[in-house]
Structure 1
Amino acid sequence: MGSSRQKGCTVLDLAFSVRDLARTRFALSPLWEVVASIRVLKHPAEHPLYRRWSDEAGRRLAASGLDWGLLADLVPQPPLAIPVFIAPPPTTSVADLGLELAVLRSTPAEQVRSGLGGRRAPRSERIERLRSDPFRGLAELADTVAAYWEIALAPYWPRVRSLLEGDVLHRARVFAESGAQALLNDLGTNVTWDDDTLYVGHHYARGRRALGGRGLLLVPSAFVWPRVFSVTSPAWQPTLRYPPRGVATLWERRTELPQNLASVIGRSRAHLLAELDTPASTTDLARRTGITAGGVSQHLTALRAAGLVDAHRSGRYVLYVRTEAAEVLLAAAHAQRDEVNVPPSG
């Protein structure tokens, strides 16, 4: 396959062996979502798909007073490259930010200096301090990531994680029904499989890379659309980060009240769950729903006790979000409604 099939892009050729196919797997990476979201937040006008999130997260970060300058410096604009060590490919399939931050903190000093010394590495005074004292700099970086996560991403994580896990389940079904070729051909319009090679339309990486029997780690990422990102450095597992199915609808507002759910948990509580498609305060919910602030608080307490709502503090505000259990419950309610409303055939 020639690069002419990938117009406007260079082509990265990932050569597979039988062993590579056998070792290809999926994983989620909260740490990478932090890094990818930084790209969006630094240049929101270039990422209109995420504008709703970037507006909300930007306001909360400004109100928090968090200094995330080092993190921002480490996520540069192309053609400079993001150093791999700040979000290395995860070693397990479980989405665990704490484990990923532990790996980040323990990165060898020489790996840090090497990652920051390349021709395409970002440069700044903060980065130079990290390079001169990796132990202290990595601790600062990990603390910043943890604080950024709590403010900008944790309130949205149940919804994002549900999308990512749904994508993995879909692709697992594709593999079970049609095999590895169909799976690898289904990763996006700029990714194609042919003759034991995965061809990736890429903005900067090019040439042929043999996976060397290590397999390919596939990481769906909510903040990379419409691009894909790759890791092919010998020190890490070869990795492809790609946009999941349905990412364009992730930040759409859906507040349709599922009547079938309302009949079970009550109209007010169902209404609140429907409104919590993005994090909101008690005041926001009272304004949107017409329920008194006291009533909203009582219903949220009940929903939280049932494991359907969680709370996150953002500066002076407490923001409420749906849990993964609530996402599943709402999805089932909508699916059941759609099934009931399907007209009979014939």
Structure 2
Amino acid sequence: MLRIHFTPEDLVRVRVAPTYGPLVEAMFGFRALRTGGFGAVPELWRRRVIRGQPHWAAPLSEVLGPESAFDIFTLLGRASTAAEGLESVAAMSRHRLGTEIEATVRWRERRRLDAKRWPSAWVNTVAADVAPGRILAPLIEACHDAVVAPYWGHIRRQLALEVAARTQLTAANGIEALFRSLHPTVRWHSPALELPSHPGPPADVHLNGRGIELVATVFLSTVEGPFWNAGDPSAPAVLFYPAVPCPADAATIFTADTEATASGGGGDGPLAELMGRTRAAALAAIAGGCTTSALARRVGISKAGASQHASVLRRSGLVTTVRNGSSVVHELTPLGRSLLAGSDPRPLPIQGD
């Protein structure tokens, strides 16, 4: 049992993030492949990856460690595209990697895990390199290309729908309903979020005003975290939760035409044919809300182009735009959510009702 304690300031700083990007999804996918914890992910996906005889699997297994304690997810950070994420990985400093390794070693010591098992000699060699990111980047890129890239369009669409649904639920029923909807095992006993499925002895963590980001991923079957950015004590904690509520959704993601999604565009298939690939990708990127600058980053276009696409979507009744201070925030309308989903969206269940 893990209890995450919230102050009033933390509750104000709860955010639902669309995704941490394709590289973080790839790392979760690789861990699922490695541990057998596939959740709702079909066997077809596993066979396709294994058939490629991945050369990157063994060294990445050493990085993640035998208990998967190493926080590679916040180490990679948020990146809307693989290219952006790989650039950050390649620039990773020896100090940054060393900080995360030290934090993981302390985590293992508190749980009395064998210090000889991790870090391995190879991990220590990478950490001692003047540019460790240049060693890790090609391995992470190859993993991404096999695990996520062929399906990224469908994955991003699923994540966009998930975030839109969570945002709508929060607006209608409040933050407690959002917490209770994350997973059947999650319980909200104010002022703490309880995670009974968390491994290890009972523990309490306090956010102390830093807030928390809730990030959906398709490769999870339970809630995981919180993860902390050791390099930035003021950054919000990150809690990952499952984005695939039923096997039928997973089948749609991983058995669809992979060629159509390989480019990573959020607008694939019929929606792209109707609206154009970039505008369809913009519609998916707006799910959950975003500013014009964030829209530009997510789709990989200029800010002026993002503003133009948002204007067209707004005139079509698919998007609303509200000014928030010096910026504007775009949100999907019910019609926009329905178009993105391809059908009328079903309400999320609220656990405990």
The verdict on a shared fold, with TM-score over 0.5 as the criterion, is yes
Structure 1 residue aligned with 2:51: 59
Counterpart contact for 1:15–1:208, Cα < 8 Å:
yes
Alignment of 1:23-102 (within 5 A): 23-27=13-17, 28-29=19-20, 30-44=22-36, 46-47=37-38, 49-50=40-41, 51-60=43-52, 62=53, 66-78=55-67, 81=69, 83-84=70-71, 86-88=72-74, 95-102=80-87
Distance 1:16 1:310, change over 3 A: closer
What is the CA-CA distance between 1:14 and the residue it aligns to?
1.2
Aligned residue among 249, 256, 262 for 1:277: 256
Where does the alignment leave 5 or more consecutive residues of structure 1 unmatched? 1-10, 255-274, 281-308, 313-320, 339-346
Q: Secondary structure at the match of 1:199?
A: strand
Structure 1 residue aligned with 2:133: 138
Name the CA distance, whole Å, in 1 between partners of 2:128 and 2:344. 59
Name the CA distance, whole Å, in 2 between partners of 1:111 and 1:311. 31
Name the CA distance, whole Å, in 1 between partners of 2:205 and 2:8. 15
Structure 1 residue aligned with 2:4: 14
Distance 1:328 1:23, change over 3 A: farther
Distance 1:194 1:145, change over 3 A: same
Deviation digits for residues 32-58 of structure 1, max 9, x if unmatched? Answer: 2121111122244x5374322111122
Distance 1:220 1:20, change over 3 A: same
Distance 1:130 1:182, change over 3 A: same
Structure 2 residue aligned with 1:128: 124
What is the CA-CA distance between 1:210 and the residue it aligns to?
1.5
TM-score, normalised to structure 2, is 0.64
Name the CA distance, whole Å, in 2 between partners of 1:196 and 1:327. 45
Counterpart contact for 1:52–1:251, Cα < 8 Å:
no
**In the comparison of the two structures, how many residue pairs are matched?**
263
Structure 1 residue aligned with 2:144: 149
Name the CA distance, whole Å, in 2 between partners of 1:130 and 1:17. 39
Aligned residue among 161, 164, 178 for 1:169: 164
Q: Secondary structure at the match of 1:250?
A: helix
What is the CA-CA distance between 1:227 and the residue it aligns to?
4.6
Structure 1 residue aligned with 2:90: 105
Counterpart contact for 2:38–2:219, Cα < 8 Å:
no
Structure 1 residue aligned with 2:249: 250
Counterpart contact for 1:158–1:322, Cα < 8 Å:
yes
Name the CA distance, whole Å, in 1 between partners of 2:262 and 2:98. 39
Structure 1 residue aligned with 2:312: none
Counterpart contact for 2:156–2:266, Cα < 8 Å:
no
Deviation digits for residues 34-93 of structure 1, max 9, x if unmatched? Answer: 21111122244x537432211112213x2xx64343222122343x51x22x3217766x
Distance 1:160 1:323, change over 3 A: same
Structure 1 residue aligned with 2:238: 239
The structure number with the bigger radius of gyration is 1
Structure 2 residue aligned with 1:189: 184
Distance 1:155 1:195, change over 3 A: same
**One-letter amino acid matched to 1:47:** F
Counterpart contact for 2:155–2:218, Cα < 8 Å:
yes
Name the CA distance, whole Å, in 1 between partners of 2:340 and 2:16. 28
The answer to whether residue 200 in structure 2 is matched with residue 209 in structure 1 is no
What is the CA-CA distance between 1:231 and the residue it aligns to?
0.9
What is the CA-CA distance between 1:131 and the residue it aligns to?
1.9
What is the CA-CA distance between 1:214 and the residue it aligns to?
1.3
Alignment of 1:304-323 (within 5 A): 309=260
Name the CA distance, whole Å, in 1 between partners of 2:133 and 2:74. 14
What is the CA-CA distance between 1:153 and the residue it aligns to?
1.1
What is the CA-CA distance between 1:116 and the residue it aligns to?
2.2
**One-letter amino acid matched to 1:164:** L
Q: Secondary structure at the match of 1:230?
A: strand
What is the CA-CA distance between 1:96 and the residue it aligns to?
3.1
Name the CA distance, whole Å, in 1 between partners of 2:16 and 2:164. 10
Identity %: 21
Distance 1:222 1:207, change over 3 A: same
**One-letter amino acid matched to 1:42:** R
Counterpart contact for 2:15–2:212, Cα < 8 Å:
yes
Q: Secondary structure at the match of 2:64?
A: coil
Deviation digits for residues 140-189 of structure 1, max 9, x if unmatched? Answer: 21122122212321111111111111111000001110111111111111
Alpha-carbon RMSD: 3.3
Structure 2 residue aligned with 1:272: none
Where does the alignment leave 5 or more consecutive residues of structure 2 unmatched? 109-114, 274-337, 346-353
What is the CA-CA distance between 1:253 and the residue it aligns to?
5.8
Name the CA distance, whole Å, in 2 between partners of 1:110 and 1:204. 29
Aligned residue among 155, 164, 187 for 1:160: 155
